[in-house]
Copies of this chain bind each other. A is one copy, B any other.
Amino acid sequence: MATAALLAVDWGTTSARAYRVAANGDVLDMRNAPLGISQVVDARFGEALDRLLGDWRNERVPRIASGMIGSRQDWVEAPYIACPAPLTALASALVYTPQRELALVPGVRTRDANCVPDVMRGEETQILGGVDPREEHVLLALPGTHSKWALVESGRIVDFATFMTGEAWHVLITHSILGRLAVQGAPATTPGPGFERGITRGMGTGALLHDLFGARTLVLMGELAPEEVSDWLSGLLIAREVRNARTWAHRHGYDGGRVRVIGDDALVARYAIAFAREDVIVTPVPSHAAARGLWHIARSAGLISDSR
């Protein structure tokens, strides 16, 4: 087994992913476990970490983690760092667990144009792992339950914004009247034609609270198949997020014509359809962005020496 210089954990609410990382940042091994924060009973985080690392836990190398594990309700709080947040600020704000089992990366906070706070925890690390510090301007999208959009300039997270797209889709299709006429088909790797039609609706300038109701009325009128409702709603919400996030980026002086997307393949494929519709160029992202970000932060914090 190649020698690791760092054990890195992307530790979220529902799942955790651990990496063995080489001194040059390469990912040597990876393992997933259903050991998300919400599965940890009685705050036994140390035990959960041991189970997650398995036989790696005897390696005497630094350990670092990002994600919800550092929230106030969890192991130890790693307080949010304000934007603009450079890599060095994250590195110097690492918080250690009581027995120094793990260094925890802080989340990042900002305020929007109306001074309402916004926060992220975990995505800041993926973002820093998804850029090269020499890049002057990068617009990133991290689609998900709570999608994040971020602006990064020379390795500094300048600003970001959250969109509750994934969760809005989930609660509406599961708990609202919109799901009542819907029939869930077999999970498709590629979204159906309903998705494309939802995209068209979402790219418009309508009011979201009104537009949503189309997921019911189109079926009532026989203009959308019950099997397409879920995809239609997904397309509507994703497109609305993309349109609104590009407006947000414009206000920050970004043309929004190029976006780097970090996320799971199926979701990235959906966003790619929305981006293509708007002629937005999707730029490739290095794999294992979280591991890469943790390695950058560990190195900046002096946990591992620079062997690049």
Contact = CB atoms under 8 A, between A and B. Distances in A.
A256 to B, nearest CB: 14
Interface band, chain A:
35 or more
Nearest to A238: B209
Interface of A: 109, 112-114, 116-119, 146, 161-165, 167-168, 171-172, 174-177, 201, 204, 206-214, 217-218, 220-221, 223, 237, 240-241, 244-245, 247-248
A209 B244 contact: yes
A241 to B, nearest CB: 6
15 contacts: A109-B221, A114-B201, A117-B218, A117-B220, A118-B213, A146-B213, A163-B210, A164-B212, A164-B213, A167-B177, A168-B176, A171-B175, A209-B240, A209-B244, A210-B248
Nearest to A219: B117
Contacts of A146: 177, 213
A174 B212 CA distance: 19
A119 B220 contact: yes
A112 B206 contact: yes
Contacts of A204: 114
Contact of A223 (B117, B168, B171, B245): B117
A208 B208 contact: yes
Given A167-B177, A201-B114, A201-B116, A162 B213 contact: yes
A172 to B, nearest CB: 6
Q: Which 9 A-B pairs have the closest CB atoms?
A: A207-B244, A163-B209, A117-B217, A116-B214, A171-B171, A117-B221, A171-B175, A162-B213, A208-B208
A90 to B, nearest CB: 19
Nearest to A149: B210
Contacts of A167: 176-177
A209 B223 contact: no
Nearest to A211: B116
- The CB with the most chain B CB atoms within 10 A, among A113, A116, A204, is that of A116
Contacts of A176: 164, 167-168, 171
A138 to B, nearest CB: 20
A209 B211 CA distance: 13
A240 B210 CA distance: 11
Given A119-B217, A207-B245, 17 more contacts: A109-B221, A112-B210, A114-B201, A114-B204, A116-B218, A117-B220, A117-B223, A118-B213, A119-B221, A146-B213, A161-B210, A163-B207, A164-B209, A168-B172, A168-B176, A168-B212, A210-B248
